[in-house]
Amino acid sequence: MSPQTSRTSGQTRATADEEIVVSFHDVSLGYDLGMPKALSLGVNDDDLILKNLNFQLPAGSFHFLTGPSGAGKTSLLKMIYLAQKPTIGTIELFGETVRTGDRTQTAQLRRRFGIVFQEFRLLEHLNVFDNAALPLFVHGESFKSYRDDVTELLNWVGLKNRLDAMPHVLSGGEKQRLAIARAVVTRPTLILADEPTGNIDYAMGLRIMRLFIELNRLGATVLIATHDEGLVRASGMPVLELANGELHRRDLTKTDLTRNAK
């Protein structure tokens, strides 16, 4: 599927009551603090990795998440995709307050995410095509219905000639591009990516960014954690920067990448 076409374009567009896709209210995170300790004994600021975060990601927005190594970028993404609960504070996703321990809610919310993990998480016994198509297969779609779309998407990420390859023979960059294709194949409402261009050369990184920007143009809300200042500058998209546990917004001027993506 080319980024110019939308498999399920309606899915990516937020409805009126879902204008805010992610909302953090006074969220703090400290890994070595249990909730009882945090509540009964109070929290020492030095024990917190993320401190009193308040921010919102509106539907259809695109942000980079930057900050030095260890600043808490992965931790923040994990809280959004419900793999880590905050020590203090509340998170709302798609207008719903997240209820810790509510597995049904977690499963329902996660269905709307596309996540590019730093460690790829490919299935070793499936070839490139089947790894990319897995979310559609799991959703019960037929091979015939997705064959051309998946092939086109793999072409976009430069894996057209590797469809039958197994993950163990792929380079780090190829694995990363496959993980990206799999994350976006269902046209998710919210795309979260953790260093999605970490193993990719600059030219391919630009191409991957154009894919994210095009998916965003089609309606997806996108948050990308990255160290790659060059790509951030080239895209001109707004930046949320983590430093000392706090989050600050930084806006950049648009450059060629976004213009070319249209």
Residue 49 Cβ vs ligand ATP, minimum distance, rounded to whole Å: 5
> In this chain, which stretch among 67-75, 93-101, 178-186, 211-219 interacts with ligand ATP, using CB under 6 A?
67-75
Residue 110 Cβ vs ligand ATP, minimum distance, rounded to whole Å: 19
- Does position 88 interact with ligand ATP (CB under 6 A)? The reply is no
Residues 139-175: b if buried by 16+ CB within 10 A, e if exposed: eeeeeeebeebbbebbebbbbeebeebbbeebeebbb
- Does position 71 interact with ligand ATP (CB under 6 A)? The reply is yes
Q: What are phi and psi of 45, to 5 degrees?
A: -50, -35
Q: How far apart are CA 117 and CA 71, in angstroms?
A: 17
For residues 70 and 172, which CB has a smaller minimum distance to ligand ATP in the complex? 70
> Are the CB atoms for 132 and 181 separated by under 8 Å?
yes
For residues 86 and 135, which CB has a smaller minimum distance to ligand ATP in the complex? 86
Residue 109 Cβ vs ligand ATP, minimum distance, rounded to whole Å: 21
> In this chain, which stretch among 65-73, 173-181, 199-207, 233-241 interacts with ligand ATP, using CB under 6 A?
65-73
- Does position 172 interact with ligand ATP (CB under 6 A)? The reply is no
- Pick one of 75, 105, 127, 151: the residue that binds ligand ATP (CB under 6 A): 75
Residue 228 Cβ vs ligand ATP, minimum distance, rounded to whole Å: 11
- Pick one of 70, 147, 148, 172: the residue that binds ligand ATP (CB under 6 A): 70
Write down the H helix ranges in the chain. Answer: 9-12, 35-40, 73-80, 103-110, 128-138, 143-156, 172-184, 202-217, 229-235, 256-261
Residue 29 Cβ vs ligand ATP, minimum distance, rounded to whole Å: 8
Of 218, 216, 260, 219, which Cα lies nearest the Cα of 238? 216
- Between the CA atoms of 154, 157, 158 and 160, what dihedral angle is there, to the nearest 10 degrees? 0
81: Cβ contacts below 8 Å, ≥ 6 apart: 110, 113, 115, 192
- Does position 106 interact with ligand ATP (CB under 6 A)? The reply is no
Residue 70 Cβ vs ligand ATP, minimum distance, rounded to whole Å: 4
Write out the residues near ligand ATP by the rule CB under 6 A: 31, 49, 67, 69-75
